[in-house]
A and B are shown apart, each in its own frame.
Chain A
Amino acid sequence: MSESGVTGDGVRGVRPGRQAPTGAGGGRRRHRRGRGEQPMVPDAAFSSYYGKPVLKKPTWKPLDIAGYLYLGGLAGASSLLAAGGQVTGRPGLAAPAKLGAAGAISLSLAALVHDLGRPARFLNMLRVFKPTSPMSVGSWLLAGYAPLTLTAAATEVAGRYRLLGSAATVASAVLGPAVATYTAVLLSDTAVPSWHEGHRELPFVFAGSAATAASGLALAAAPPAQAGPARRLAVLGAALELGAFRVMKRRMGLTAEPFEQGRPHLLLRAAEALTAGGAALALCCGRDRRLALAAGAALLTGSAALRFGVFHAGVASAEDPKYTVVPQRERLERRGR
């Protein structure tokens, strides 16, 4: 009876990559270098099909979609500052916030349409309303929100129809928070491990990040005497963002690892430093015009870095079968299969 050492070159001897081990812990794995980072969870052995990803990674273009998340947050929270400024008699704060919200939401819509495979079919988004699809909910939300911000901004610029402008400002502030946080659901409602597993905390991270971005814009553009609420919002937003991100990473286990590696890691560290630094600067010396400008720029950049970091970490988690297979395997074992 013959033995089968069947290999590519005829004789015995194993070519790595051709022989798959059997079972769950077979151990085909891909090693990722974490730039001297300690992995949060020890490397688990697992099987995969030639190291191929189980999932399809998102086809979204990073600039379009991470930019969309960022601009949506900036717009949503700016609407809050605009309404607050209007109601409390701070026209210097309300005006840039209204313009910021309108500009950001227009740009974000453009990014969304640009990302479609068939941009001409953009309006197909409004064929149906599906609560099971965050993108459908978001489209309808934006369909209501964007005209309101544009009205608010247009009446501000024209200096006419003030009553209509006020109504639009207040209405956009009602929808604003939803615009800022629904994007977290958009990411989480996928099979992408590092997006899905954080679905409880990610909306809070995005809410905080939206607050810091909007207050950054207000700090940079409003006269310091009227920017007090923006300074406070920067601090509160930074605290919410950084705190929620911590909690999220702790709860995610292995799927938090992509946040700690490679490009997402750099982006998220930068986001942390810029957000914390910007908020501190706003608090201590936001009354100085130039320092307020610096704080505003730091907060705006920090919020953008956060969205790009989260986006890229998700893509990385979809590209490595480890983050799909290992948590699922552990789940099965916990269920005592």
Chain B
Amino acid sequence: MRDGDEDRGRLWYGPQPDVAGDSGYPDAPPRMGFFTDTSVCIGCKACEVACKEWNAIPEDGLVWTGMSYDNTQGLGADTWRHVAFIEQRKPFGGQEPGVAHEDVDVFAAAARLGTDASSPGPGATAPPPGRAPEGAPAGQISPLSPDGRTELRWLMSSDVCKHCTHAACLDVCPTGALFRTEFGTVVVQEDICNGCGYCVPACPYGVIDQREDDGRVWKCTLCYDRLGVGMEPACAKSCPTDSIQFGPLDELRERAQARVAQLHAAGVPDARLYGESPEDGVGGDGAFFLLLDEPEVYGLPPDPVVTTRDLPAMWRHAALAAGSLLALALGSFARRPR
């Protein structure tokens, strides 16, 4: 990476360590974002509900899709958080579906919590001493059920606007309705948007969309109103497992690296970060993810690139083409030698 002054120059592509500063905020607060750790998502959809409630988003269609537990289907003008559900036939430690529980007295079990090694207390994620399966460091996490792995795994992931470092939606907006906040997030000013719709096909993640009866476009604001008064966004606040973590992006990136290392050590080699790297096609996402399978399985593009990376080349080619058109016309009027 180059240093200092050059970094602050207007970059169209590549790492941009100071997005807010680049957008003209001299003393911006640290860039804020989301780290969504899908490995602890339980699919409760509290985030979807909290988001709709806080932002007063209209209903987005009530249908049964048959897509596992996902009746929301995807992000859109009226859906700013979307929990994806994926059922896979793949060993995944820890889940024990289909176990019969009729003969278990849950109250007795609860009363025993923490009293012996086979019944660790609340909050304990470590296997009892001496019983940690091979490959799982004791005292950290218990990814494997002691007597073998189960066959089904159920992936859940709460998707959201990525608040890209190089946001195509913002770049192409002709009215300036989309803007970069002092927190480095990307927000639509609804009193300015004229509904031209250009941002919609520009987003490489298919996030932003037009609200039909309204004509304007809408998407996640990363709760700009809440951030302004020092509160965390509604979805992160409501998430019961801290699958959605909110904070300064630098801190989240460190935390995410540690979490991936932890999962790898615990025998979950599929764990990977998505959108975390400032080197990627959009300069890194302000909202990034820990996934347990390839991004496209979750409906995310595997290698998104901000379209404006190629814009200088596009303008060059358009200028050349305009020149060719002029040349054709001149050629058509040229007097033929007699």
Chain A residues within CB distance 8 Å of chain B:
1-6, 8, 14, 17-24, 26, 46-50, 52-60, 76-77, 80-81, 84, 87-88, 115-119, 121-122, 124-125, 127-128, 130-136, 139, 177-178, 180-182, 184-185, 188-192, 195-196, 199-204, 206-207, 210-211, 215, 229-230, 232-233, 236-237, 240, 314, 318, 321, 324-325, 328-329, 331-332
B143 CB within 8 Å of chain A: no
Residues of B with C-beta under 8 A to A14:
89
Which residues of chain A have C-beta atoms less than 8 A from B18's C-beta? none
Complex A-B: 27 CB contacts under 8 Å: A2-B99, A4-B150, A8-B66, A22-B88, A47-B294, A47-B296, A49-B84, A56-B206, A56-B207, A59-B200, A60-B197, A117-B216, A130-B173, A131-B315, A134-B172, A177-B326, A178-B322, A184-B321, A190-B168, A191-B304, A191-B307, A192-B201, A200-B313, A207-B322, A229-B329, A324-B301, A328-B302
Evaluate contact between B152 and A55: CB separation under 8 angstroms.
no
Report B230-268 residues with CB < 8 Å from chain A CB: none
Are B174 and A118 closer than 8 Å at their CB atoms?
Answer: no
B117 within 8 A of A: no
A240 neighbours in B (Cβ, 8 Å)? 324, 328
Residues of A within 8 A of B124 (CB): none
Contact yes or no, B303 A331, CB < 8 A: yes
> Which residue in B70, B205, B209, B215 is a CB contact (below 8 Å) of A54?
B205
Q: Considering only CB atoms, which chain B residue lies closest to A130 in the complex?
A: B174
**Is B308 in contact with A132, judged by CB distance below 8 angstroms?**
yes
Chain A residue with the shortest CB-CB distance to B73: A52
Give the CA-CA distance A181 to B294 in the complex, in Å: 39
* Interchain CB contact under 8 A, B98 and A56: no
Give every chain A residue within 8 A of B214 (Cβ-Cβ): 117
Closest A residue to B194 by CB, please name it: A121
| 4 tightest Cβ-Cβ pairs between the two chains A and B | A117-B195, A117-B215, A49-B299, A203-B321
Q: How far is the CA of A230 from the CA of B86 in the complex (A)?
A: 60
Contact assessment for B314 and A329 in the assembled complex, using a CB-CB cutoff below 8 Å: no
Interchain CA distance A124-B194 in the complex, whole Å: 7
Min CB distance B1 to A, Å, is 19
For B174, give its contact among A18, A60, A136 (CB under 8 Å): A136
- Known contacts A59-B210, A236-B332; is-contact A127 B98 (Cβ 8 Å): no
Check B303 against A200 for contact (C-beta < 8 Å).
no
**Do A124 and B192 touch across chains, with their CB atoms under 8 A apart?**
yes
Q: Is the CB of A6 within 8 A of B152?
A: yes
- Number of chain B residues whose Cβ lies closer than 8 Å to a Cβ of chain A: 91
* B88 contact set on A, CB distance < 8 A: 19-22
Q: A229 near B332 (CB under 8 angstroms)?
A: yes
In contact, A117 and B197 (Cβ under 8 angstroms): yes
Q: Report the Cα distance A184→B321, complex, angstroms.
A: 10
Q: How far is the CA of A150 from the CA of B202 in the complex (A)?
A: 33
* B100 CB, min distance to chain A CBs, angstroms: 8
Expressed in whole angstroms, the Cα–Cα distance for A59 and B196 within the complex equals 9
* B193 in contact (CB, < 8 A): yes
Most chain A CB within a 10 A radius of its CB, from B96, B203, B321: B321
**Cα distance A117–B196 in the bound complex, in angstroms:** 6
Q: Name the distance in Å between A236's Cβ and chain B's nearest Cβ.
A: 4
| B208: A residues at CB distance < 8 A | 56
Known: A22-B293, A240-B328. 20 other contacts (CB 8 A): A2-B98, A2-B99, A3-B151, A19-B89, A21-B88, A23-B293, A49-B296, A50-B67, A50-B70, A56-B207, A117-B194, A117-B196, A117-B217, A119-B194, A124-B194, A180-B322, A199-B317, A203-B317, A207-B322, A329-B302
- B44 contacts which chain A residues (CB < 8 A)? none
Q: Once bound together, how far apart are the Cα atoms of A134 and B173, in whole Å?
A: 9
A133 touches B323 (CB 8 A): no
Known: A17-B67, A133-B174. A332 touches B210 (CB 8 A): no
- Known A-B contacts A23-B293, A47-B297, A229-B332; the reply to A56 vs B209 at CB < 8 A is yes
A20 surroundings in chain B (CB, below 8 A): 86-88, 155, 297
Tell whether, in the assembled complex, residue B174 and residue A332 are in contact, meaning their CB atoms are under 8 Å apart: no
Query: What's the minimum C-beta distance from B138 to chain A, rounded to whole angstroms?
Result: 22
CA distance A28 to B87 in the complex (A): 13
Q: Who on chain A is nearest to B98 by CB? A: A2
CB distance from A15 to the nearest CB of B (A): 8
Residues of B within 8 A of A131 (CB): 315
Contact of B151 among A4, A58, A117, A136 (CB under 8 A): A4
Closest to A179 in B: B322
Hey, which chain A residues are within 8 Å of B324, CB to CB? 204, 207, 240
Cα–Cα distance between A80 and B331 once the two chains are bound (Å): 12
- The complex places the Cα of A203 from the Cα of B316 at a distance, in Å, of 10
Q: A4-B97, A124-B194, A188-B314 are in contact. Are A211 and B325 (CB under 8 A)?
A: yes
> Quick one: which of A1, A84, A185, A229 contacts B315, CB cutoff 8 A?
A185
| B175 sits at the interface (CB 8 A) | yes
- Note all chain A residues with C-beta closer than 8 A to B302: 24, 325, 328-329, 332
